[in-house]
Amino acid sequence: MRLVPRGRGLRDPNLRDRLYELLEHDPLAYAVGSRFIQIIIGVIVLNVAAMILASVPEFDAQFGTLFSAITILAVIVFALEYAARMWTVAGHTPSRGSPLSDRLGYAFSALGIIDLMSFLPAAVVLVTGRHATLAALGVLSFFKLIRYSPAMRSLLAAVHAERRALIGCIVILTGAVLTFASLLYAIERDVRRTSSAPSRRRCGGRS
């Protein structure tokens, strides 16, 4: 076992590499990384369940303090996890760029955005005191399960790989919808004009 020299602390690259392995590539069933994943999944399930129950006024009136405490705990856990991933990702990307570019790459990746959105909106709501919207924002942490599901990660990777084709399809579909909507609007407007013309004539004849 290799001892970490004193005075280096978080600046030690070996500590950062080990933490990255625990967060990303520790497949052993009873390893520390596996237990960490189980804790994160447990916090996700607990937070989502608390937010769903908080949407019921009777439960919120009786257990509102407990639900808020669970949300605060989830925000702290997810924020610490995000900070740890942001710190350890440097030097562990395929591009092998600078630490800043590696961290920006993680921050703007699909999983990085999911990790950020799992706690940031709820933290803002807790700070501003608008607890009524916690039920909607707390469910965002559910999407963190994508990181821990190989099937969902494969699906996300496929969507990311075909993002240009998907964007093109969305643009084409949007254009088609707008075109047909414009045609329907023009046809309905002409029909209304032709149907209102005889009624105006009859009204004019009676007067």
> Both 34 and 131 in a single domain?
yes
> Both 22 and 108 in a single domain?
yes
Between vectors from CA 69 to CA 65 and to CA 75, what angle results, nearest 5°? 145
CB 67 within 8 A of CB 160: no
> Both 25 and 106 in a single domain?
yes
> Both 81 and 37 in a single domain?
yes
Structural domain includes residue 1: no
- Portion of the chain with pLDDT greater than 70, in percent: 70
CB 119 within 8 A of CB 82: yes
> Both 105 and 204 in a single domain?
no
pLDDT by position in tens, the chain (length 207): 344 444 445 555 677 888 887 777 655 445 566 777 888 888 988 988 888 888 788 888 888 888 888 888 999 999 999 999 998 888 777 666 788 888 888 888 888 888 898 888 888 877 776 665 555 666 778 888 877 766 666 666 677 677 788 888 899 999 999 998 888 888 887 777 776 655 555 555 555
- Number of domains making up the chain: 2
Largest Cα–Cα distance of the chain, in whole Å?
104
Residue 149, phi then psi, degrees to nearest 5: -115, 115
pLDDT of amino acid 204: 56
**Structural domain containing residue 178:** 162-207
For residue 52, with 0-12 CB atoms within 10 Å meaning exposed, 13-18 middle and 19 or more buried, which class applies?
middle
Give the CATH number of the domain where residue 13 resides. Answer: 1.20.120.350
Q: Report which of 43, 109, 131 is spatially closest to residue 79, judged by C-alpha positions.
A: 43
> Both 199 and 119 in a single domain?
no
Mean residue pLDDT of the chain comes to 76
Query: Can you tell me which residue has the tokens 């804790």?
Result: 39
The Cα–Cα gap between 100 and 173 comes to 38
> Both 170 and 142 in a single domain?
no
Structural domain includes residue 154: no
**Per residue in 114-153, pLDDT tens?**
889 888 888 887 777 666 555 566 677 888 887 776 666 6
